[in-house]
Each structure stands twice: as structure tokens, then as C-alpha cells.
Chain A
Amino acid sequence: MSLPMSSTTPLLEARDVHGGYGGMNILNGVNMTLNANEVGVIVGPNGAGKSTMLKAVFGLLNVTQGEILLNGQPIHNLPPNKLVERGMGFVPQEKNVFPSLTVKENLEMGAYLKPQNVKRMLEQVYAFFPPLVEKRHQPAGELSGGQRQMVAMGRALMAEPTLLLLDEPTAGLSPLYMNEIFDRVRQINAAGVGILMVEQNAKQALAIADKGFVLAAGQNRFTDTGAALLADPDVAKSFLGG
């Protein structure tokens, strides 16, 4: 492994994380280090525990062994609302909007803990996702898949997170929206937000990744920079479809 060693505390550090649902272990010792302002991408075959790892980071899963640190502070088994207070944002893959609330109300809920920021952040999010402006008074349940994803990401951004977790943000989207979402992810990162995302479109995702984590059977198989993983023939052969 040739990860650049940083002298400062990493933004997110996972050490030998084990966990799963109802006694069944899905994660069997995952390690991750992500520094501030980095994009981390988790890829791997189905059932490798990619989304499960993301859920473990966001406190939605019982971590039975190992630890997860945010800015050096242990956070495993803290409830999600506490993690939001500490600067984490999470965009689930499914059910990621409040369908009967309007777009604007969805976004307002993102800043629930920082009501004084609502106005300023609304303007920023609208500037970031212009299609949402004209839909702002429409219930989010009536939007298309791509627009919904924008609402979901916008909601998470409203809390001004330092680390944004994205679970398959491009799943089920048309190629046009897919590129749009990848562009947005890069821009969010450029604005100083660390990103950890699970992606099916591994090649495209690794291309924008500072760090790539290839999981298989709940463990790290390869961990390197995104570019190095893309160039690695072993990774390409077994995980990127040749």
C-alpha cells in the first residue's frame, strides 16, 4: 500500500469494523482512512457490504467490533441525529426524500438543526441545483428520479456537512443525469466537503476518487488511490469487468 501519510488527524477513520444485522455479520474487518477534502469511493461486487459499511459509518448499524473515528473522535454506535450535529450528512439510495413535503420543505428539513442558516443555504442549494428553483413548491414525490436525487443531496448539504455519505447516487438514473450527478459530486468536494460514496459505476467513480476501497465479502481487497486502482490489472480483471 502506498497511501500518502498525513500528519494531521484524518477526517474519517475506520479500523477493523465488524457488524451486521441481527447477529449475521456482513462486515468482517473493514479499514478506511479519508482525509479532509478527499473523495473516497467504495466499490465491489454485490453483497460485498458496500452500503452496509456506509450505514455503519452513519450509525444505522450495530458495530460489534472495531472502531470508527470522525476527526479522531469515536462515533460508532452514536445515533444518526448526533452524527448530523457533528457534521455528517447521509443520502440514502432509496426513500431519500419526504414525498409529501415540497422541495423547499425537504431542503428546510436538512437544516433542521441550524434553522438560522436556512435562508443562506437555500440560496446556495438553489444556485447549485438550478432545476429545483422552479419546482420548489411542488411535492418532492412528484419529481423525476434525477430531480429527486438533487433534492436528496441538497437536503444533506443544507446542514453544511464536512463529510457527505452518498449511497449509489446514480442508481437508476439516465446517463445524462448520471454525468450531472458526478459533476455535482466533484463540485461539492471542491467546495471543501469530504465525500464517501458507494457506486455501481465503478470506473466513472474511481476516476474522481482520491481513495478507492474495493470490498469483497465484507473485507478490503484493494485500497489505493482511485487512479492506481483503475490502472491495476488485477482490480480491472476481477472488479471492473476487464
Chain B
Amino acid sequence: MNELVFFINNVIIAGSVTGSIYAIGAIGVTLIFSIMRFAHFAHADMMTFGAFMVLLLTTLFPAAGTSIGVPTALVMLPLAMLLTAVLAVGIDKAFYKPLRAHGVKPIVLVIGSLGVTLMLQGLIRLFSGTGGQSLYVDDRKEIFRLALPFEGARAPIVITEPQLYLFVITLVAVVALHVFLNRSRLGKAMRAMSDNPELAQASGINTNTIVAVTWVIAGGLAAIAGTLLSLDVTFKPDLSFFLLLPIFAAAIVGGVGHPYGAIAGGFVVGFAETLAVFNWNVLLRPFRDSLPTWLELPSNLAFVGTEYKIVVPFFILVAILVWRPTGLFKGKVI
């Protein structure tokens, strides 16, 4: 029983946390690709920017959430989403739009976004400092321990307050995006432009509006992902940057340009990472007596050490692209 609890805590919960954050990040990357056809490398630092806005606002008004019993950071999240959306639209106007107007190749935009990422990182670091800071400025991080009603179950299932919020917010964000893309006029126009930009224009769709809406959504989602990540651990100016590669892996694994693929890809990559560093020895322990005596189990039976976690997304990426070159869902050919 304790082995099962260990598995739930270290794989199911940990994998869902990582998967949710990768999924929300990858949706933004994939939406930007489907509308503007370039890989937006500054996405991770837009996530950091969103989290930093939450940190600033929470520091300014530390008690805003106490009256309604919600962590102040979450009360500030909608405002931070708005600010990040404004930043995203502003970055597009200042840096990407002039490049598009010149009709440059997508790779120029990619390099441009690398420049933007360095700039954003520098700016955030300038104001936040380089150390870690908790988004729980004035609140206490609740930790829930659910004891299982079984005999011999000693360890409880442990889930923290930010993790619960993370699952709820991810679910709400995904459902809202689904409704937007399939029910609203603007969402359908966005899918139409992703399918065939010339015909979208010939139907009277203003493509500039769609581009702006894409940045608003991508910016808002980036703020959510960055904030939820920083709530789960702590805010650091380079925290999201290290997620850039797994997020791109998730978007590609799911099929580039496919929002549902990005969600699936996020969870595939998230769980693969978690399973790869999971110590399987624990699960084998109950069967120790039935194993042959010459087989001695090492105390750490993980596929890779935690320090090599970063290679896992790429292994998954290569494996899936060999098997399905367009990703799990049929994405666009890059």
C-alpha cells in the first residue's frame, strides 16, 4: 500500500503538475506557430514575465486575498495575464510586425525572438534580482495530507494548495480555449487563418486582428503557466527559461499547430520525465522475497539520474517523430 502511495505522490501528482505546465506553455507556442508560422523562443520568458508581474503585485498588495481565503498571488493572476498580454502585443508591434512587413523568412523571426528572450531575461533580472522568491508573500502554503483508509498505509497522499489550484486552472483554461476555438466567431476565424491565410483574407477576415488575438491568448496562457510554476516551487528569473526546450518538445510531439496535440504532448513529455527519474526499486520492494537471491536490487533503480532529466523530452521527441513524423495529432510540416 505504501508503495502505491509513493507512486501516486511521485508519479501521478508530480507528472500531472509538470504535464499541466508544459501543456499550457505548449498551447501558446503552437498557437503562435499556427498563425504566424514561426517558433517563438521568447515564450518561456513571457511566462517568467507573467510570474514576475504576480510577484510585484503580490508584494504591493500582500493582503488582497486574505478576505476571500485565496492566495493573493492567484487574485493577482488575471491582472498579470492582462499585463503579459499587453507585453506580448507590444513585443509583436515593436519587433515581429516590422519583420513580417518586410516579408522575411520564418528563421529571421525565430532569431528575432531569441533576441527578445535575452532582452526580457535581462530586464526581469534587473528588477527581480537573481535569487529565488516565494509568491506566497503573506500567505501560508497549505499542504494537504490524505491518509488512505487501508490497513498498513502509513504514508499519506501529499498534495499542496498550489498544485490543486494548478489542476483546476489548467482544466478551466483548456475548456475555455476549446469553447473559444470551436464556438466563437473569432476562434473559428483563428482556425481558418491557421488553415489557409489567403482564403481567410478573401473571406473578409482581418488578419491583423487575428494576430493580435493570438498574442493576447498566448500572453495570458504564458502568465498562467509561469505563475503556476512559480507557485509550486519559487519564482526565479531563469526558472521558465529551462522549460523552453521541453515545451517545444511537447508542442512538436503533439503535432505543431495543433492545440489539442500540445495538451497531449505536454502530458506525454511531463509524465515521461517523471517516470524516467522515478525510483522503481520502491515498487519492487514487496516482491523482494520472491526474487532470486543472486539478483540484488540497487537502491536507486531510475532510468536516468535527476540531473539528466532534461534529455528525456528529446528522447521522447526523437522516438515519436520517428514513429509519426507529424506528431501525435497531425500537425503542420515545419
- A contact set with B: CB distance below 8 Å: 58, 60, 79-81, 84-85, 90, 92, 95-101, 105-106, 108-110, 112-113, 115, 155, 159
Residue pair B201, A79 in contact (C-beta under 8 Å): yes
Residue pair A109, B201 in contact (C-beta under 8 Å): no
Residue pair A109, B189 in contact (C-beta under 8 Å): yes
User: Which of B192, B194, B198, B207 contacts A109 (CB under 8 A)?
Assistant: B192
Distance in angstroms between the alpha carbons of A95 and B205 in the assembled complex: 16
User: Closest approach, in angstroms, between the C-beta of B196 and any C-beta of chain A?
Assistant: 5
- Can you spell out 16 A-B residue pairs with CB atoms less than 8 angstroms apart? A60-B198, A80-B201, A80-B202, A81-B201, A81-B202, A84-B204, A92-B199, A97-B196, A98-B192, A98-B195, A100-B194, A101-B191, A105-B191, A109-B205, A110-B203, A112-B185
Distance in angstroms between the alpha carbons of A105 and B200 in the assembled complex: 12
Instruction: Tell me which residues across on chain A come within 8 A of B204, comparing CB atoms.
Output: 80-81, 84-85, 112-113, 159
Instruction: Tell me which residues across on chain B come within 8 A of A97, comparing CB atoms.
Output: 196, 199
Instruction: Tell me which residues across on chain A come within 8 A of B201, comparing CB atoms.
Output: 79-81
Chain B, 272-313, contact with A by CB distance < 8 Å: what is the 0/1 string? 000000000000000000000000000000000000000000
How many of B's residues come within 8 Å of A, CB to CB?
18
Instruction: Tell me which residues across on chain B come within 8 A of A95, comparing CB atoms.
Output: 196, 198-199
Instruction: Tell me which residues across on chain B come within 8 A of A99, comparing CB atoms.
Output: 195-196
User: Closest approach, in angstroms, between the C-beta of A207 and any C-beta of chain B?
Assistant: 28
Instruction: Tell me which residues across on chain B come within 8 A of A85, comparing CB atoms.
Output: 204
Instruction: Tell me which residues across on chain B come within 8 A of A101, comparing CB atoms.
Output: 188, 191-192, 195
Residue pair B191, A100 in contact (C-beta under 8 Å): yes
Q: Which 3 A-B pairs have the closest CB atoms?
A: A84-B204, A98-B195, A113-B204
Determine if B134 is an interface residue (Cβ-Cβ < 8 Å): no
User: Closest approach, in angstroms, between the C-beta of A90 and any C-beta of chain B?
Assistant: 5
Residue pair A98, B196 in contact (C-beta under 8 Å): yes
Provide the main secondary structure of the chain B interface: helix
Distance in angstroms between the alpha carbons of A18 and B171 in the assembled complex: 56
Instruction: Tell me which residues across on chain B come within 8 A of A106, comparing CB atoms.
Output: 192
Distance in angstroms between the alpha carbons of A190 and B199 in the assembled complex: 26
Distance in angstroms between the alpha carbons of A98 and B191 in the assembled complex: 9
Chain B, 172-207, contact with A by CB distance < 8 Å: what is the 0/1 string? 000000000000010011011011101111111111
User: Closest approach, in angstroms, between the C-beta of A198 and any C-beta of chain B?
Assistant: 15
Instruction: Tell me which residues across on chain A come within 8 A of B192, comparing CB atoms.
Output: 98, 101, 105-106, 109
User: Closest approach, in angstroms, between the C-beta of B169 and any C-beta of chain A?
Assistant: 28
Distance in angstroms between the alpha carbons of A95 and B192 in the assembled complex: 12
User: Which of B185, B199, B206, B207 contacts A98 (CB under 8 A)?
Assistant: B199
Distance in angstroms between the alpha carbons of A101 and B207 in the assembled complex: 17
Distance in angstroms between the alpha carbons of A144 and B319 in the assembled complex: 35
Residue pair B196, A115 in contact (C-beta under 8 Å): no
User: Closest approach, in angstroms, between the C-beta of B328 and any C-beta of chain A?
Assistant: 16
Do A112 and B202 contact each other (CB < 8 Å), given the known contacts A101-B191, A105-B188? no
Residue of A nearest to B257 (CB): A100
Distance in angstroms between the alpha carbons of A130 and B206 in the assembled complex: 30
Distance in angstroms between the alpha carbons of A80 and B202 in the assembled complex: 6
Distance in angstroms between the alpha carbons of A110 and B194 in the assembled complex: 16
Distance in angstroms between the alpha carbons of A21 and B243 in the assembled complex: 43
Q: Which of B199-258 contact A (CB under 8 A)?
A: 199-207
User: Closest approach, in angstroms, between the C-beta of B193 and any C-beta of chain A?
Assistant: 9
Instruction: Tell me which residues across on chain A come within 8 A of B185, comparing CB atoms.
Output: 108, 112, 115
Distance in angstroms between the alpha carbons of A106 and B196 in the assembled complex: 11
Residue of A nearest to B191 (CB): A101
Distance in angstroms between the alpha carbons of A138 and B196 in the assembled complex: 17
Do A112 and B198 contact each other (CB < 8 Å), given the known contacts A81-B204, A159-B204? no
6 additional A-B pairs beyond A84-B204, A112-B189, beta carbons within 8 Å, are A85-B204, A92-B202, A109-B200, A112-B185, A112-B204, A155-B203
Distance in angstroms between the alpha carbons of A100 and B257 in the assembled complex: 12
Give the one of B185, B204, B205 with max A CB within 10 A.
B204
User: Closest approach, in angstroms, between the C-beta of A199 and any C-beta of chain B?
Assistant: 19
Instruction: Tell me which residues across on chain A come within 8 A of B199, comparing CB atoms.
Output: 92, 95-98
Distance in angstroms between the alpha carbons of A81 and B201 in the assembled complex: 6
Residue of A nearest to B194 (CB): A100
Distance in angstroms between the alpha carbons of A95 and B197 in the assembled complex: 10
Residue of A nearest to B208 (CB): A81
Residue of B nearest to A159 (CB): B204
Residue of B nearest to A110 (CB): B203
Residue of B nearest to A106 (CB): B192
Residue of B nearest to A113 (CB): B204
Distance in angstroms between the alpha carbons of A155 and B199 in the assembled complex: 10
User: Which of A60, A81, A90, A105 contacts B205 (CB under 8 A)?
Assistant: A81
Distance in angstroms between the alpha carbons of A210 and B200 in the assembled complex: 31
Instruction: Tell me which residues across on chain A come within 8 A of B189, comparing CB atoms.
Output: 109, 112
User: Closest approach, in angstroms, between the C-beta of B70 and any C-beta of chain A?
Assistant: 37
Instruction: Tell me which residues across on chain A come within 8 A of B202, comparing CB atoms.
Output: 58, 80-81, 84, 90, 92
User: Closest approach, in angstroms, between the C-beta of A81 and any C-beta of chain B?
Assistant: 5
Distance in angstroms between the alpha carbons of A80 and B198 in the assembled complex: 9
Residue of A nearest to B188 (CB): A105
Instruction: Tell me which residues across on chain A come within 8 A of B188, comparing CB atoms.
Output: 101, 105, 108-109
Residue of A nearest to B258 (CB): A100
Give the one of A58, A85, A108, A115 with max B CB within 10 A.
A108
Residue of B nearest to A95 (CB): B196
